[in-house]
Every structure is written in C-alpha cells, then in structure tokens.
Amino acid sequence: MSDIVGSDPDVSLQEAPSGRAYKVFDPESDGYFEKIGDQLNAERPLRDETKPPHIGPPQPTNANQSWVYHEDEQDYLKHSGTVTERIELLGPQLESEVRALYGDDVYLVLKGRGHETYGLGVQGEKDRGYEIEKGPGGYYYSIPSLRGDLLRKLSGKTLIGNPHPSLTRRY
C-alpha cells in the first residue's frame, strides 16, 4: 500500500489494492475508517433490502451494516458498525502491538470522535461493559472496562462468556 499526496498538500490518501484511494483515517475527525469499512462490507454485505419498522433501534444483521430510518430524510440509510474485532486489518505490526497491550478481547473503533454518531457507539460499548481508550497507532479501541469485567464475573461469566470456575464450584 502506498501513500499518495493529493493536490492539496494537507490531504494524504492511501491507495487500496483495488486501486481506490482513501483519505487517511483521522480518529479525531468526523470521518469513518472507510478502507476497513469497505473491506468489512465486501466480506459481509447487507443483502436484505427489507427495511425494519421506523421505530426502535437498528435491527441486527449478519452484515457489517444495517438499515436505519432517518426522520429528516423520510427514508432508510445504510449505517456501518462503530467497532470491529478485525484488528488484523490494521496490518501485522500494529496488530501485534494492539494484541500485546490488550489481548484478544479488543475492538477497533471505526468512527472518528467527531462523527455524528460517535456518542451512540460509545454508549453502546459502555452498555456491553466496554470502554474506549486511545492506543497504538493513535486509534481508539474498545476494551473491557473494570466495571464490565466485574459485572461479568458477578454474573458467572469470564470475558469469553464461560462460567468462572470459582463461581461454579460447590464447597
């Protein structure tokens, strides 16, 4: 992958193997990590054109995207996920740094902090017992929070969802 400098000296682009040029993702911006998002969408496309009811949260799909109704547009738009577990898409060196620091229970945040739905993603991660932290490469990662870890232990589950042996033994 090569860096390409556009006509504006302040804009840096990355060229994907497909030949498409992507703006370098700035995790502090209002952008989205399009290069990784496009890879995820290609691997798990949203094939179902059936739109969910207007009310309520987006319906879960096996795709990287879901349909979300926008009242102001009076229409559905495809929304991509906020995080991905696919840390390897950052490349082997950065993946190694991330795994060494956080282990395997880590997610890359794909939306910049200025993205209009970043706060919803942060709340969703908090609701499932994770917190957002800036880490290797200057990117943000979702990792188990101490509070979330405690709740999982109290519910009899470890980080991978199996009962913790100390909570299932009978004395």
pLDDT in tens, the chain (171 residues): 333 223 333 444 455 555 678 889 999 999 999 999 999 989 988 887 777 776 666 666 677 777 777 788 888 888 788 899 999 999 999 999 999 999 999 999 999 999 988 998 999 899 989 999 999 999 999 999 876 566 556 665 444 444 343 333 332
Helices and strands in the chain, H and E counts: 5, 9
Contacts of 159 (CB under 8 A, 6+ apart): 105, 144, 149, 152
Those residues with Cβ within 8 angstroms of residue 34's Cβ, 6 or more apart along the chain or in another chain: 22, 23, 25
Contacts of residue 164, Cβ cutoff 8 Å, sequence gap at least 6: 153, 156, 157, 158
| CA separation, residue 39 to residues 88, 119, 125, 159, 171 (Å) | 12, 24, 22, 27, 50
pTM: 0.70
Q: In what order do the strands lie in the sheet with 12-15?
A: 3-5, 12-15, 21-23
Tell me the three state secondary structure of residue 14: strand
Q: What residue type is 118 in one-letter code?
A: Y
